[in-house]
């Protein structure tokens, strides 16, 4: 098997056994980047020189016995909305086109402590606003299963890079499905943990009360191992939670016997692609066959999740993105007269259409006279959605459903109708509103040859149940590896 096809954990084992060095692993990643990047464009910035240096240092520490973790020496790609000291961090926006942070995001620091080698920064929808990675100022990313199709978004660069073997795992961020949906579209596994599990310090905020960093990887075991490294309490993030139950890999038993699984009937109705639906039901049958109890139930309030999400996320974004003003860092317009004109031109030129749309929407819902009708109502809706999940989790260990209503659309299809694009988030946003953990696991391939992911949702802090069920699904899956064609061709 080719190095590029290895999961992060298997590569880590090989490095530990000295079958391969961290330097060779990084070289393999850069070889794949050289071969594929032109086609897929997963990265905004590739940092080969720095990465090779880091790989040497990491290997030295492994040899000296200072680095013993399961992922020591494994190369990683970081979504370009996480600050990396000395490495360009753009959020795929023109307005941060020259922004080189003076500090590193806490999540990235955790990985570095565990011996990660940072390959570069992955492409995304501008400021994580979008579902296709087409709103990036630096060009679109293409789906490794079919370059005519989008990789999903906003963590499309991370998901595509994992699928194409241009890294061994990646960090994404998920505000309304931005890890899970591209993972589903690219046939990789992506996990959004419980809000507060991974420090947001250094993650450039979109919707602060919803944003959460998470792993994107080739399989469930990788996600569990990565999350073990990332789930660290950080006093620099007031919303960071102290957790003791972070031995996630202990949940990879392959035994789902007795688990109670609920499928929201509301998730299987109108708007869901029939092949996706069939895949969800197939996953349900598999869990049942393995001894889990599976039943359908009414979750309710599903139709309110999208409006509530877009009101809250946009409101927070309108404030979060106000710091990009041309004063302190980033892009500043060339010609201007006075301060006001500078602000106006800088922001008009620096932000793309989708970002401006959400800033305007967010500013509107926070305006005096509209605050109660929109923002407060959205917050109340959020609380009710959380209650609906609480009720469901009194009965079920995990909820199973689709990650997205369809497989990856073709490039250019989504941007014409933003409302339609927003509706594509229907199965993912409520998880963020309720602060819950959820994972997308690849489970099938549609008639166009595009991957289909299924989503497992857990109660707060119940990631282990998700890993347990997800691992069970994965073990029983017909196509064990479910690799993108680009890796299959080379691998077999």
User: Annotated catalytic sites, by residue?
Assistant: 79, 154, 178
Using the minimum distance from each CB to another protein, give the nearer residue, 250 or 322: 322
Binding mask 371-410 for another protein (x = CB under 8 A): x---x-----------------------------------
Q: Which long-range contacts (CB under 8 A, 24 or more apart) does 299-303 make?
A: 299/264, 299/265, 299/266, 299/267, 299/388, 299/389, 299/392, 299/399, 300/266, 300/388, 301/381, 301/384, 301/385, 301/388, 301/430, 302/264, 302/266, 302/267, 302/426, 302/430
CB of 417 to another protein, least distance (A): 28
Is residue 34 a contact residue for another protein (CB under 8 A)? no
By CB under 8 A, the count of residues binding another protein is: 44
Is residue 91 a contact residue for another protein (CB under 8 A)? yes
Token pair 């109502």: residue: 377
Token pair 């509301």: residue: 266
Is residue 348 a contact residue for another protein (CB under 8 A)? no
Q: What does DSSP assign to residue 198?
A: S
DSSP calls for 350-418: HS-HHHHHHHHHHHHHHSTTTIIIIIIHHHHHHHHHHHHHHHHHHH-SEEEEESSSSSPPBTTSSTT-H
Query: From the list 23, 29, 105, 198, which residue makes contact with another protein (rule: CB under 8 A)?
Result: 105
Is residue 489 a contact residue for another protein (CB under 8 A)? no
Is residue 367 a contact residue for another protein (CB under 8 A)? yes
Using the minimum distance from each CB to another protein, give the nearer residue, 376 or 423: 376
- Please compute, for residue 36, the number of CA atoms within 13 A of its CA located in the half-sphere on the CB side: 31
Using the minimum distance from each CB to another protein, give the nearer residue, 68 or 367: 367
Closest by CA position to 154, among listed 192, 107, 102? 192
Is residue 351 a contact residue for another protein (CB under 8 A)? no
Is residue 239 a contact residue for another protein (CB under 8 A)? yes
Using the minimum distance from each CB to another protein, give the nearer residue, 142 or 200: 200
For the segment 196-225, give every residue that binds another protein (CB under 8 A). 200-205, 207-209
Is residue 334 a contact residue for another protein (CB under 8 A)? no
Is residue 339 a contact residue for another protein (CB under 8 A)? yes
Q: What does DSSP assign to residue 123?
A: -
d(CA 3, CA 25): 7
Contacting residues toward another protein, per CB under 8 A: 81-83, 89, 91, 96, 99, 101-103, 105, 200-205, 207-209, 235-239, 315-316, 318-319, 322-325, 327-329, 339, 343, 363, 366-368, 371, 375
């Amino acid at each position: 098997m080719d190095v590029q096809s290895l999961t992060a954990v298997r590569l880590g084992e090989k490095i530990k056994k000295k079958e391969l060095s961290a330097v060779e692993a990084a070289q393999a990643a850069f070889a794949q980047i050289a071969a594929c990047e032109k086609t897929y464009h997963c990265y905004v910035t590739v940092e080969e020189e720095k990465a090779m240096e880091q790989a040497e240092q990491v290997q030295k520490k492994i040899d000296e016995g200072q680095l013993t973790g399961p992922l020591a020496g494994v190369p990683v790609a970081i979504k370009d909305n996480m600050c990396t000291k000395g490495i360009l961090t753009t959020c795929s926006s023109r307005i941060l086109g020259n922004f080189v942070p003076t500090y590193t995001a806490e999540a990235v620091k955790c990985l570095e402590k565990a011996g990660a080698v940072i390959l570069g920064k992955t492409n995304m929808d501008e400021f994580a606003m979008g579902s296709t990675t087409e709103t990036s100022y630096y060009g679109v990313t293409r789906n490794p299963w079919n370059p005519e199709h989008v990789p999903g978004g906003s963590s499309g660069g991370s998901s595509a890079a994992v699928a194409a073997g241009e890294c061994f795992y990646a960090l994404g961020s998920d505000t309304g499905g931005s890890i899970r949906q591209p993972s589903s579209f690219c046939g990789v596994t992506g996990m959004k943990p419980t809000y507060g599990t991974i420090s947001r310090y250094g993650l450039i905020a979109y919707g602060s009360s919803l944003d959460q960093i998470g792993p994107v990887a080739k399989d469930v075991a990788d996600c569990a191992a990565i999350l073990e490294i990332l789930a660290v309490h950080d006093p620099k993030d007031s919303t960071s939670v102290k957790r003791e139950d972070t031995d996630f890999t202990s949940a990879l038993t392959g035994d789902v016997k007795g688990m109670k699984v609920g499928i929201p009937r509301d998730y299987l109705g109108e708007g869901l692609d029939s092949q996706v639906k069939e895949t969800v039901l197939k996953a349900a049958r598999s869990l049942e066959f393995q001894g889990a109890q599976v039943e359908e139930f009414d979750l309710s309030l599903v139709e309110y999740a999208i409006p509530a999400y877009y009101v809250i996320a946009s409101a927070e974004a309108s404030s979060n993105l106000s710091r990009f003003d041309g004063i302190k860092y980033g892009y500043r317009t060339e010609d201007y007269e006075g301060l006001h004109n500078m602000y106006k031109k800088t922001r008009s030129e620096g932000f793309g259409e989708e970002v401006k749309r959400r800033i305007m929407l967010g500013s509107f819902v926070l305006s005096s006279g509209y605050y109660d009708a929109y923002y407060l109502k959205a917050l109340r809706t959020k609380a009710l959605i959380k209650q609906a999940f609480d009720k469901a989790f009194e009965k079920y260990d995990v909820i199973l459903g689709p990650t997205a209503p369809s497989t990856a659309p073709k490039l250019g299809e989504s941007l014409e109708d933003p409302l339609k694009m927003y509706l594509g988030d229907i199965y993912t946003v409520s998880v963020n509103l309720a602060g819950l953990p959820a994972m997308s696991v690849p489970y099938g391939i549609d008639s166009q040859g595009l991957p289909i992911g299924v989503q497992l949702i857990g109660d707060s802090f119940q990631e282990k149940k998700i890993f347990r069920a997800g691992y069970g699904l994965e073990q029983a899956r017909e196509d064990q590896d479910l690799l993108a064609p680009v890796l299959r061709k080379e691998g077999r």
